């Protein structure tokens, strides 16, 4: 609970749908607008984020007093208070007629700090979230946090919009800046300019799975200047991993070093920017420490080969609005009945407005329960379940297959995180070795998540990820 505590970082995240609704406040000529809404907390180890519910209640005509400026009535507030979803807080957004980051006027401050914050806090136990829309679409946000009986204003560090496009609105003194050693990234920076390079260097990126694909992504990001990493993998390196895990050595395998340690070492060696910050979590992704660390990330790469972690990361993307870039390689070696070698891989971005991993069949729902129960690691069970065994048999891989998949995941990340669609269209990509074609991967049931999609149903609901696994 945030009341009375001081998290290191404060964030706000909203979907593209929610942002479109907020942008509409600025559509009326010379008339300010105001809306009350709900939000839910997403609590990482370092960052406390408010996730805005995209169902923003529209005020009735009689609930607003418009005179160029605007006021809302107690009737609107009563309606909002009576519909607060469990675990949600209350927020207020209004627009200004000036661009960029917005301070609070006397009216804004009085209404938020004195009239609304005490009520919102008493009613929900959560702080009031105040947001101001600038005339250029910039969002400035603050939380009114109860501390020792007094409500104090704390500016939100960044507001992130996760939709068709990614946008980030920083508090003025948190604006992204390029790190040191710029001469080492001249070629990279020249491609997209210093502003986008600074943005890239401001992101905290999680990589789940530091095997063949994950280790390459880690090195790639470090060379491009990313300097804040969360590395999650419980495994240790073995001799059989050495043919495709970048940076690994015979000694690592002999000493059974953790994959996170090897990746961290690789990042430090490859880093071209300032000294990187690396958090190593040698845990399963579904363990508390890993889940908590994931909620601190701006982007997460899913480089896992199991179904349950992908399911968790799917909800992370939709429910907590943390974009996930997923990739996977499928290889079918020749057999007597099927003599051809089939190679394919997928890479796709997972955010609201795009297909979820489940609808792209990146995981099989039927196997989640077995993984949760540990059945797939039980040789006796696997021996008697040939269909399940088939789903887990594939350990074949080749270094260059992983390179190709890692490259496409990284390009999807760059295109989205830097809002640079000319790098790569952020649609689900599938490569078929047989034809040599990269095409849009098919999704179920109609190209994107359908109305019955269980992952989409929890969009921006900040679902407890632990609860998923109980």
Partner 1 sequence: MAENMTEPGIGHAHKISIRINGIEHRTSDHKQTVAQVLALGGFTVEDYTLVSKDEPSVPLPPEEILHLKDGDEFLALRKTNPVSEIGGMQDLERFFVEELGRRVEYLKGANGDNLIIHDVEIPAGPLAGKVCDIGIQCTDSRPFALFPAFHTRPQLVSMGQENATHPGKIAPEWQYWSRQWQKPPLSPGEVWAWVLTALTKAKI
Binding site for partner 1 (CB under 8 A): 30, 32, 34, 65, 67-74, 77-79, 81-82, 92, 94, 96-98, 102-103, 105-108, 110-111, 115-116, 118-119, 121-123, 146
Least Cα distance to 225 among 181, 265, 164, 261 occurs for: 181
299-302 and 277-281 beta bridge pairing: unpaired
Question: Given the complex with partner 1, which of 148 and 470 has the nearer CB atom?
Answer: 148
Nearer to partner 1, 12 or 357 (CB): 12
3-class secondary structure, 161: strand
Give CA angle at 266 (291, 203), nearest 5°.
50
> Given its phi and psi angles, is residue 68 left (phi above 0), alpha (psi -120 to 50 degrees) or beta?
left
- Least separation in angstroms between CB 25 and partner 1: 11
Angle subtended by helix axes 186-202 and 399-417, to nearest 10: 70
To partner 1, the closest distance from the beta carbon of 56 in angstroms equals 16
Distance CA 332, CA 326 (A): 20
By beta-carbon proximity to partner 1, the closer residue of 32 and 409 is 32
Give dist(CA 229, CA 364) in Å, integer.
29
What's the CA gap between 136 and 101, in Å, rounded? 10
* Rounded least distance, CB 373 to partner 1, Å: 42
Are 438 and 378 a contacting pair, CB within 8 Å?
Answer: no
Cβ at position 123, least distance to partner 1 in Å: 6
**Is the Cβ of residue 83 or residue 334 nearer to partner 1 in the bound state?**
83
With respect to partner 1, which residue has the nearer C-beta, 121 or 197? 121
- The distance of closest approach from Cβ of residue 135 to partner 1 in the complex, given in angstroms and rounded to an integer, is 9
Q: Where are the beta strands (DSSP E) in 323-397?
A: 324-332, 342-350
Minimum gap (Å) between residue 32 Cβ and partner 1: 6
- Shorter beta-carbon distance to partner 1: residue 71 or 375: 71
């Amino acid at each position: 609970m945030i009341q009375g505590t001081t998290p290191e970082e404060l964030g706000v995240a909203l979907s593209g749908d929610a942002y479109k609704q907020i942008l509409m406040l600025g559509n009326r000529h010379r008339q300010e607008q105001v809306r009350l809404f709900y939000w839910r907390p997403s609590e990482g180890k370092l960052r406390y984020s408010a996730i805005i519910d995209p169902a923003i209640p529209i005020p009735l005509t009689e609930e607003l007093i418009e005179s160029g400026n605007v006021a809302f009535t107690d009737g609107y507030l009563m309606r909002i208070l009576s519909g607060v979803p469990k675990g949600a807080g209350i927020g207020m957004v209004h627009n200004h007629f000036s661009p960029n980051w917005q301070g609070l006027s006397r009216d804004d401050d009085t209404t938020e700090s004195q009239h609304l914050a005490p009520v919102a806090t008493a009613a929900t136990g959560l702080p009031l979230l105040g947001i101001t829309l600038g005339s250029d679409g910039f969002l400035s946000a603050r939380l009114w946090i109860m501390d020792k009986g007094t409500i104090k204003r704390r500016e939100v560090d960044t507001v992130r919009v996760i939709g068709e496009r990614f946008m980030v609105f920083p508090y003025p003194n948190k604006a992204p800046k390029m790190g040191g050693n710029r001469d080492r990234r001249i070629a990279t920076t020249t491609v997209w300019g210093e502003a986008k390079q600074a943005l890239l260097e401001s992101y905290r990126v999680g990589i789940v799975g530091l095997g063949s694909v994950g280790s390459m992504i880690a090195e790639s990001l470090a060379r491009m200047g990313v300097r804040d990493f969360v590395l999650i993998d419980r495994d240790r390196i073995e001799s059989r991993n050495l043919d495709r895990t970048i940076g690994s050595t015979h000694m690592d395998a002999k000493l059974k070093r953790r994959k996170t340690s090897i990746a961290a070492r690789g990042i430090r060696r490859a880093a071209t920017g300032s000294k990187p910050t690396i958090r190593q979590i040698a845990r399963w992704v579904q363990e508390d420490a890993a889940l908590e660390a994931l909620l601190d990330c701006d982007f997460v790469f899913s480089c896992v080969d199991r179904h349950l972690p992908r399911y968790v990361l799917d909800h992370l993307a939709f429910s907590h609005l943390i974009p996930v870039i997923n990739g996977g390689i499928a290889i079918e070696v020749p057999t007597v009945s099927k003599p051809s070698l089939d190679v394919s891989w997928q890479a796709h971005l997972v955010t609201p407005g795009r297909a979820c991993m489940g609808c792209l069949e990146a995981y099989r729902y039927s196997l989640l329960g077995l993984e949760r129960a540990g059945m797939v690691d039980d040789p006796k069970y696997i021996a008697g379940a040939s269909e399940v065994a088939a789903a887990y048999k594939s350990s074949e891989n080749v270094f260059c297959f992983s390179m190709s998949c890692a490259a496409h995941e990284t390009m999807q990340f760059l295109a989205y995180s830097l809002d640079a669609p000319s790098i790569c269209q952020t649609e689900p990509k599938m490569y078929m070795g047989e034809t040599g074609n990269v095409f849009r991967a098919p999704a179920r049931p109609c190209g994107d998540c359908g109305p019955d999609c269980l992952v989409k149903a929890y969009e921006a609901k900040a679902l407890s990820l632990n609860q998923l696994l109980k």
